[in-house]
Amino acid sequence: MLVVPLGQLPLWGPGADENPPSKPVLTRPATLRLLITVKAAPNPSARYGETVCVGALGLDTPWTGWIRLYPIHFRDLADESKFRKYDIVHLDALPARQDQRRESWKPIVDSITTEQHLTNQQSRRNLLDPLVEDSMCRLNEQTRDDPSARSIALVRVADISALQVKRHPGWSVEDRKKIAGYLHQLDLLEPSKRSPLQAPRFTGAYRYRCADRRCRGHQQTLWDWEFVALQRRLSQLTDAEAADQLKHKFLTQLCSADRDVAFYVGNQAARPQSFSIGGVYAPRRPTPRYRRRVNR
């Protein structure tokens, strides 16, 4: 069991607003300035072939706080519009009217521009640490009582008992129909062939306790783009070898004792009580020298 001591997070402020504002009603797109925090693994789409759900933090008023961007057909983005985790980007978007989740926006993908990549750990912590909250349990309770409750959070991890890595069962019948329909459209409209989205080799799920004293444990699927990308780089390894490498990266390294670990979590529009992990926030703890300098 990996334990994350609860007393090691002096920079983290109170949890997110329990009563965030309702989804705005706009007739024209708003321009958002965002810090990208989550790029989820792509999923099949009948219209685009594949789509990516992106989590971000709004940086400029009035559009501050957690924001979800969907759909983004990332593979089709122009090179200058492609972005990485912890990029600061600008884009135009409208609130997603067919999605009851208040954080959900529909991006205008050809408006995306990148301002800079936030490489400095302390700069990231200044923005993200005040939003870390203790209780995944409370988020679950809120969505049980109100399906339109908050659907995105950054949750502090008390301890992790396992990262389960299992063989992916392959796309569902519904997903295979989406892929086939999209490829049929391409045959009619475009002379060039395009490869269908391949299912990842493995699924991953963390078993952990949040920092709520009542917590009896959570098990949540990991849908991180980086988790799937690493699998592709390990394609020459056996299943056992590749699974060990994934656990080494996403458990031993990212969740090591010298890091302050929190999970970016989000729920599903069709199943608001079902949360999954979009990514791991794991800044290294300040060194003793750094802490002494801060405390002066």
> Under 8 Å CB-to-CB from 81, ≥6 apart: which residues?
109, 110, 112, 113, 114
End-to-end CA distance of the chain: 35
| Amino acid at position 248, single letter | H
Would the pLDDT of 13 be above 80?
A: no
Q: How far apart (Å, rounded) are the C-alpha atoms in residues 159 and 178?
A: 39
The model carries a pTM of 0.88
Q: What is the pLDDT of residues 125-135, one digit of tens each?
A: 999 999 999 99
Categorize the per-residue pLDDT at 80 as very low, low, confident or very high, splitting at 50, 70 and 90.
confident
CA distances from 206 to 92, 104, 148, 218 (A): 34, 25, 25, 8
Return the higher-pLDDT residue of 17 and 259. 259
What share of the chain in percent tops pLDDT 90?
71
Return the higher-pLDDT residue of 184 and 158. 158
Helix (H) or strand (E) holding 123: helix 121-128
CA distances from 110 to 73, 114, 286 (A): 11, 12, 39
- Which pLDDT value is given to residue 191? 52
Q: What is the pLDDT of residues 211-255, one digit of tens each?
A: 999 999 999 999 999 999 999 999 999 999 999 999 999 999 999
Would the pLDDT of 20 be above 80?
A: no
Q: What is the pLDDT of residues 90-139, one digit of tens each?
A: 999 999 988 889 999 999 999 999 999 999 999 999 999 999 999 999 99
Return the higher-pLDDT residue of 21 and 244. 244
Would the pLDDT of 68 be above 70?
A: yes
Q: If you compute the radius of gyration of the chain from its CA atoms, what whole number of angstroms results?
A: 20
- Which pLDDT value is given to residue 192? 58
Mean pLDDT over all residues of the chain?
88
**Contact in structure between 170 and 214 (CB atoms under 8 Å):** no
- Which pLDDT value is given to residue 193? 64
Residue 214 DSSP symbol:
T
> Under 8 Å CB-to-CB from 150, ≥6 apart: which residues?
16, 18, 20, 66, 102, 103, 139, 142, 143
Q: What is the pLDDT of residues 272-295, one digit of tens each?
A: 889 999 999 999 987 654 443 433
Q: How far apart (Å, rounded) are the C-alpha atoms in residues 278 and 156?
A: 14
Q: How far apart (Å, rounded) are the C-alpha atoms in residues 115 and 188?
A: 38
Chain-centre distance of CA 179, in angstroms?
Answer: 23
